[in-house]
Structure 1
Amino acid sequence: MAKQPDGGARELPVAVVTGGNRGIGYEVVRQLAQRGHRVVLGSRDLAKGEAAAARLDPRGSRVTAVQLDVADDASVAAMADRVTRELGRADVLVNNAAILYDTWAQARTADLDEVRRALETNLFGAWRTTQALLPLLRRSPHPRVVNVSSEAGALNWMSGGTPAYSVSKAALNALTRLLSGELGGRHRVLVNSVCPGWTATDMGGGGRPVPEGAAGVVWAATLPDDGPTGGFFRDGKPVAW
């Protein structure tokens, strides 16, 4: 990610997308770049991230890959430091990285080490990445944080199964509410959870086309300044908590 000169690309809004090398994250990167963002594509495996960025933007003017493991403090700090030094801004954060859709498990017999691993990425990963980028976000004229959640984390629908994933996404929704409540004021950071729906990703295993699910995430990432905050949405419409 070469340092940008004054003007030009440096003036583009900057979006950071975690887990951006495939699935929903990859499509979110593509759509945000098309809408005029400079996108930092975070990937645990840098080689895979660089390959994804090259497919999306062969010239490298809009999409840049960085190594980013949201479960690792040092990796998150290094990413935030690089974005600060080389781009000098962050306007959008999409907390997309997630693991462990544990359809085989039940709460009464769950492997708690698996649950902890899911929480480390799905909850704490989003939390530490938001904290790391918050100084830049608060300086943005139009700051947005989007937590990619799931209806599996909605208490309204829970009835058993996928315990690690469901609990981690419910906790992520709670984090959305807390951050939204704390980040109001003159430079209001809009913080929302978005369920992309059942989509045809590696994790989802089927469902609707990925671009349709990603579109709801991009909607929340590009809300107007008077848009909602502290909500849970799918396709731009509220979802029950």
Structure 2
Amino acid sequence: MTETKIALVTGANKGIGYEIAAGLGALGWSVGVGARDDARREEAVTRLRAAGVDAFGVPLNVTDDRSVAGAAELIANRAGRLDALVNNAGITGGWSQQPTSVDLSIIRTVVETNVLGAVRVTNAMLPLLRRSAAPRIVNMSSTVGSLARQSGPDGETTTGPVAVAYAPSKTFLNAVTVQYARELADTNILINAACPGFVATDLNGFRGVRSPKEGAATAIRLATLPDGGPTGGFFEDAGVVPW
């Protein structure tokens, strides 16, 4: 009998995170729904279970050491290992972030969640991931963090909001992903960054043109990569993202 695979998705109570959990669950995975809000987390778990997913709640605030340690203990006690970690939790800090006038506390807050949160959770879950036969880590990024796409070939800037906290936090996360891949190169852990595209979620006021389910597709693919798959890369539906 094939052993059920275990995943943890942070920020999984809504939007893209929820759809990643649903997609992995549809593949037969048992999925931990990581979220800091108790009511929203349990509501998401109930919805997923109603859809046939083996979902369980994981109280998790990625900015809090004790919360993250508690999440790792919960998964250890429940499953003894982790096969896939999807670091999806993230915030924008608002979309009006001019570098000449930004409140530095906004940058600190965004980086604490989007970058340090991913590092904190990854490091706490690594002992459990090492117990898996095919461990995978996915960091949810964005092409707004791509230097190649944010500036043209002659240095001209592209259109879109100026977001000196959010966009560089994703560039930072991409770079962190590469560093993990380098350190873990001699292991069977594959770690990659995923761009969901411009998805309609409350993160952007539902202005996106893609559904959360469409946005979840790349993360699900990277979470289920076969052995020998890529590591340290940045991907979207169309393939590799230059960054």
* Bin of the TM-score, shorter chain as denominator length: over 0.9
TM-score of the superposed pair, with normalisation by structure 1:
0.92
Q: How does 1:92-241 map to 2 (within 5 A)?
A: 92-100=84-92, 102-158=94-150, 159=157, 161-185=162-186, 187-204=187-204, 205=206, 206-235=208-237, 237-241=239-243
What amino acid maps onto 1:66 in structure 2?
Answer: V
CA distance in structure 2 between the partners assigned to 1:224 and 1:54 by the alignment: 30
Q: Give the secondary-structure state (helix, strand or coil) at the position aligned to 1:191.
A: strand
Shift of 1:102: 2.9
Q: Give the secondary-structure state (helix, strand or coil) at the position aligned to 2:111.
A: helix
Unpaired runs of 5+ residues, structure 1, are 1-6
CA distance in structure 2 between the partners assigned to 1:60 and 1:195 by the alignment: 27
CA distance in structure 2 between the partners assigned to 1:19 and 1:106 by the alignment: 27
1:91-118 superposed Cα distances (whole Å, 9 cap, x missing partner): 1000000002532111121111010000
CA distance in structure 2 between the partners assigned to 1:140 and 1:189 by the alignment: 9
Q: Cα gap change, 1:207/1:59 in structure 2, threshold over 3 Å: closer, same or farther?
A: closer
Q: Please, what is the CA RMSD of the aligned residues?
A: 1.6
CA distance in structure 1 between the partners assigned to 2:28 and 2:52 by the alignment: 14
Q: Contact 1:46–1:66 (CA<8 Å) still a contact in 2?
A: no
Shift of 1:61: 6.6
Structure 1 runs of 4+ with >6 Å offset: none
TM-score of the superposed pair, with normalisation by structure 2:
0.91
Counterpart among 15, 35, 54 of residue 23 in structure 1:
15
1:29-65 superposed Cα distances (whole Å, 9 cap, x missing partner): 0000001111000011021101001011139871001
Q: Give the secondary-structure state (helix, strand or coil) at the position aligned to 1:203.
A: helix
CA distance in structure 1 between the partners assigned to 2:73 and 2:233 by the alignment: 30
What amino acid maps onto 2:235 in structure 1?
Answer: F
Unpaired runs of 5+ residues, structure 2, are 151-156
What amino acid maps onto 1:72 in structure 2?
Answer: D
Shift of 1:224: 0.6
Q: Contact 1:153–1:170 (CA<8 Å) still a contact in 2?
A: yes
Shift of 1:236: 5.5
- Please say if 1:68 is aligned against 2:60: yes
1:4 maps to none
What amino acid maps onto 2:197 in structure 1?
Answer: G
Q: Give the secondary-structure state (helix, strand or coil) at the position aligned to 2:162.
A: coil
Identity, % of aligned pairs? 46
Q: Give the secondary-structure state (helix, strand or coil) at the position aligned to 2:148.
A: coil
What amino acid maps onto 2:162 in structure 1?
Answer: G
Corresponding residue pairs, total? 232
What amino acid maps onto 1:170 in structure 2?
Answer: T
Q: Give the secondary-structure state (helix, strand or coil) at the position aligned to 1:214.
A: helix
Q: How does 1:41-80 map to 2 (within 5 A)?
A: 41-58=33-50, 62-80=54-72
Shift of 1:197: 0.4
